[in-house]
């Protein structure tokens, strides 16, 4: 099994190197979409027009050998024939209601559906079974479809019952935004994206049904460690406390996605770091995704107890304490342990002594006064306690750095 995992990981690395060529700020979206396809799940790309959503889908298609591809832009005027094929005239003559599906969505392995929520409810309802069950009702029979993954695209998600059910069919919801100012220069320069047809990977790198089956077997053997399950349980409770609902079916699919992520990298178990996929699976919009991502960041690599701001506060507290102790002054004691007092001495006053410098018209200068204070001295026990605190902090930081480095 280890050899199979290693070979698959090497092929996937080579495949990604080809598919990512020329992409500008779309590497993460491509990898997540491909991972969803490897897990047999669907991806929804949410973003404005002209942000390379269709180009990403075409690159996903190139990852699979001899895979039929289907692409369609939906509008409110789209009819079922545009997605599922025209009605068979011969079948109608024989009183059968069947479609010619060759070359249409039921016949595709990878599909891109743009503006997925623009279609009417009849089309969306027909798509529900196709996406979830990989089956299509054609007349009196039900066809088994070769569908691997659908990449959908939309500008926004409408709020109605049918759209919500269809929205739930996409395990990964990825936000796609225009390139940044830095990426804009690359987009127009030498690194501009190449046409997908010019990026076809060698056949030896492409994946087929046997590869997907092997990956599924490897994923089935991957474990979800206790720390991963604990984090998912904590997140489920946290979401419920905020009024968020995630179906049991989606949690099961998410667990499978984590196992596929581990298997695709040749690992025998998922890691807490794989949970970076979770915000894209359990949220419906960008603000909610950012909130879950922040929740996870406080519990994963950047821990709540050792986040950079907290480390800064610890250092500042020690520095403030050190300054206080350095500047602290103590009263002057004599050899018997009693406070040392001095009387007014004209000579001392001329010399600038504190007691001699004080005088008044009522003769108060003759009173005894405490002599000048001196710098406080600290014993070995006090200094040892302070350095032990610092040693403890440094040891914990070193352990954290070691753990982060290993991950």
Residue 16 near residue 28 (C-beta atoms within 8 A):
no
Q: How far, in Å, CA of 364 to CA of 263, rounded? A: 88
239, part of any domain: no
pLDDT at 355: 45
43, part of any domain: yes
Burial of 130 (0-12, 13-18, 19+ CB in 10 A): buried
372, part of any domain: no
Helices (H), 189-247: 209-220, 226-241
Digitized pLDDT (tens) for each residue of the chain, 407 residues in all: 566 677 888 899 999 999 998 888 999 999 999 999 999 999 999 999 999 899 999 999 999 999 999 999 999 899 999 999 999 988 888 888 899 999 999 999 999 999 999 888 888 888 988 999 999 988 888 899 999 999 999 988 877 777 788 888 999 999 999 999 888 888 887 556 555 555 788 999 999 999 999 999 999 999 999 999 999 999 999 999 998 889 999 999 999 999 999 999 999 999 998 999 999 999 988 899 999 999 998 887 655 556 677 778 888 888 888 888 787 776 565 666 565 655 545 554 454 444 444 455 555 555 555 555 666 777 888 888 888 988 988 888 888 788 777 76
CA distance to 66, 227, 396, per residue, from 403 (Å): 43, 15, 11
Joined tokens for residue 395: 């040891």
Residue with structure tokens 């905020």? 242
Question: What is the CATH classification number for the domain harbouring 123?
Answer: 3.40.50.300
Joined tokens for residue 268: 């025998």
359, part of any domain: no
265, part of any domain: no
pLDDT at 79: 93
pLDDT at 389: 87
Q: Considering only CA atoms, which of 155, 166, 164, 94 is closest in space to residue 123?
A: 166
Read out DSSP for 43-78?
A: EEEES-TTSSHHHHHHHHHHTBTT--EEEEE--TT-
Question: By residue range, what is the domain housing residue 147?
Answer: 15-219
134, part of any domain: yes
Strand partners, 369: 342
Q: Other C-beta atoms within 10 Å of 357: how many?
A: 13
Counted domains in the chain:
1
Q: How far, in Å, CA of 181 to CA of 163, rounded? A: 35
Output DSSP code: residue 99.
Answer: B
385, part of any domain: no
Q: Which helix (H) or strand (E) holds 330?
A: strand 329-330
19, part of any domain: yes
pLDDT at 352: 47
pLDDT at 102: 93
């Amino acid at each position: 099994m280890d050899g199979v995992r290693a070979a698959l990981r090497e092929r996937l690395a080579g495949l990604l190197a080809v598919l990512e060529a020329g992409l500008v700020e779309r590497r993460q979206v491509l990898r997540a979409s491909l991972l969803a396809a490897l897990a047999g799940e669907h991806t929804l790309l949410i973003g404005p027009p002209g942000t390379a959503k269709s180009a990403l889908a075409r690159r996903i298609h190139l990852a699979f050998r001899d895979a039929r591809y289907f692409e369609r832009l939906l509008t409110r005027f789209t009819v079922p024939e545009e997605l599922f094929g025209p009605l068979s005239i011969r079948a109608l003559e024989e009183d059968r209601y069947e479609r010619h599906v060759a070359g249409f969505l039921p016949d595709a392995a990878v599909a891109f559906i743009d503006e997925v929520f623009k279609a009417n409810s009849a089309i969306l309802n027909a798509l529900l079974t196709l996406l979830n069950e990989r089956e299509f009702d054609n007349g009196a029979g039900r066809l088994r479809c070769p569908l691997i993954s659908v990449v959908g695209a939309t500008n926004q998600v409408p709020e109605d019952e049918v759209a919500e059910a269809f929205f739930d069919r996409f395990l990964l919801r990825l936000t796609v935004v225009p390139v940044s100012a830095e990426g804009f220069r690359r987009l127009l320069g030498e690194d501009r994206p190449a046409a997908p047809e010019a990026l076809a990977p060698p056949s030896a790198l492409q994946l087929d049904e046997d590869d997907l089956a092997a990956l599924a077997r490897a994923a089935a053997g991957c474990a979800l460690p206790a720390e991963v399950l604990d984090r998912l349980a904590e997140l489920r409770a946290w979401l419920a406390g905020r009024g968020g609902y995630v179906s049991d079916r989606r949690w099961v699919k998410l667990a499978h996605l984590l196992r596929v992520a581990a298997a695709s990298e040749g690992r025998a178990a998922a890691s807490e770091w794989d949970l970076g996929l979770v915000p894209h699976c359990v949220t419906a919009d960008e603000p909610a995704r950012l909130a879950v991502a922040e929740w996870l960041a406080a519990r994963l690599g950047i821990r709540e107890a050792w986040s950079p701001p907290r480390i800064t506060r610890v250092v500042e507290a020690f520095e403030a304490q050190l300054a206080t102790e350095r500047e602290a002054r103590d009263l002057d004691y004599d050899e018997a342990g009693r406070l040392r007092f001095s009387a007014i001495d004209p000579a001392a006053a001329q010399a600038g002594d504190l007691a001699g410098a004080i005088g008044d018209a009522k003769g108060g200068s003759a009173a005894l006064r405490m002599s000048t204070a001196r710098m406080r001295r600290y014993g070995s026990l006090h200094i040892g306690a302070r350095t032990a605190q610092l040693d403890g902090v440094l040891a914990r930081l070193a352990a954290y750095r070691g753990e982060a480095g290993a991950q």
